[in-house]
Structure 1
Amino acid sequence: MANTEMLTALNEQIKHEYFSSYLYLSMSAYFADMGLSGFAHWMRMQAEEEMLHVNKMYDYVIARGGKIKLYAIDEPQAEWNSPLDVFNFGLDHERYVTGRINSLMDLALKTKDHAAHSFLQWFVNEQVEEEESFTDIINTLKLVQGDGRGLLLVDRELIARAAPSIASATTA
């Protein structure tokens, strides 16, 4: 059985991962309303990836003998000023999640929960990837500077994002 404090913190993180999925689904709807199907698809895949994170943590808590407690999720923002604004908001959110994951790692070290430390290392690496993905798109959007033709080209690029797979979420 894992450390009780760690299991409580992981249950709290599950709530934040659910919220992340909910937020990205809201962003997807925002883009769909704008007629940017590639942007909408990219965010929809991001929402699905967050659900894989939820399930990974959920399964870990159960495997370690913990009890799942599902907390209420806040309503996500639904309106932004531009596609660039959406991705800046997303990057800020990912940085927030990175801070939460880092705090979980600190707790694993403090409580000498080596299994949790090992488990959380995947999330540390995942957060590097998440922040990089948002930053790359932000940099592209800055180059486009709101030009409609440029946005359509980015939109066509983003629609190519593949669905996240369970295999990628379970790789340590």
Structure 2
Amino acid sequence: MKDLVRQKLSIHVEIMDLLNKQIEKEAHSSSAYLAMASWCDHNGLSYSAKFFYEQSSEEREHMLKIFRFINNNGGTAYSPEVNNIEHDFNSLQEIFEVALDQEITITKSIHNIVYKCRKVQDLNTENFLQWFVNEQTEEEQTMRKALELFDLMGTEGLALKFIDERIPQIREY
């Protein structure tokens, strides 16, 4: 009976499995951003902490969006386990470098699912994922803008304070 149900899904079975793996990645990103926020809080970088708390929340929203999509299309979404979260960082610049790498990894994963959708002709899921494709472009740009601040201003003393104060504005331009 279980195999029969899987055959009557609106979503292609292989795509559903990839989306469940994506849920894990989004949950991991959410937890990683939470750890980054904690590091920033601990180091007196309140604007950056707020930024990463918001990033954590956004990643959780992305996870839930995929979770609901799977369930709404007759599939079964699985609640992920999250482990291997880094909590120790050397600098704010390192945090943004790790965040950019994380976003690039998520972008590649989304793109791979889109390519698989095209291969198996799952147009509904491909259409759903277009929002994520656009979102990932914005996420990567945001992290790159933050890293540009370090290149322009440096990483020591007052420069770090100025960078922290400018973090809320990096999404605006």
Aligned to 1:97, which of 99, 106, 109? 106
Conserved? CA contact 1:10–1:57, under 8 Å: yes
Q: Is residue 2:111 matched to residue 1:141?
A: no
What CA RMSD, in Å, does the superposition of the two structures yield over aligned residues? Answer: 1.5
Task: Read off the aligned partner of 2:117 and give its amino acid letter.
Answer: A
Aligned residues: 162
Conserved? CA contact 1:11–1:69, under 8 Å: yes
Q: Is residue 2:40 matched to residue 1:55?
A: no
Alpha-carbon distance change, 161 to 25 in structure 1, aligned in 2, over 3 angstroms: farther
Alpha-carbon distance change, 159 to 133 in structure 1, aligned in 2, over 3 angstroms: closer
Of 40-49 and 149-158, more deviation after overlay is shown by 149-158
Bigger relative contact order (CA 8 A; separation at least 6): 1
Task: Read off the aligned partner of 2:62 and give its amino acid letter.
Answer: H
Task: Read off the aligned partner of 1:114 and give its amino acid letter.
Answer: L
Larger-Rg structure: 2
Q: CA offsets, 1:88-110, max 9 Å, x none?
A: 11101111111100111011111
Please give the TM-score of this superposition, normalised by the length of structure 2: 0.89
Aligned to 1:10, which of 19, 26, 41? 19
Q: CA offsets, 1:121-147, max 9 Å, x none?
A: 111111100000000000002222113
**Identity percentage of aligned residues:** 30
Alpha-carbon distance change, 128 to 159 in structure 1, aligned in 2, over 3 angstroms: closer
| Cα distance between partner residues in 2 of 1:159 and 1:81 | 21
- Stretches of structure 2 that go unaligned for 5 or more consecutive residues are 1-9
Q: Is residue 2:108 matched to residue 1:87?
A: no
Aligned to 1:106, which of 99, 115, 119? 115
State the 1:160 CA deviation.
Answer: 6.3
Q: CA offsets, 1:23-82, max 9 Å, x none?
A: 000000111111111111111110011011011101111111111122322231111111
Q: Is residue 2:83 matched to residue 1:74?
A: yes
- Stretches of structure 1 that go unaligned for 5 or more consecutive residues are 163-172
| Cα distance between partner residues in 2 of 1:115 and 1:161 | 33
Q: Could you say which residue in structure 2 is the equivalent of 1:124?
A: 133
Task: Read off the aligned partner of 1:25 and give its amino acid letter.
Answer: L
| Cα distance between partner residues in 2 of 1:68 and 1:137 | 34
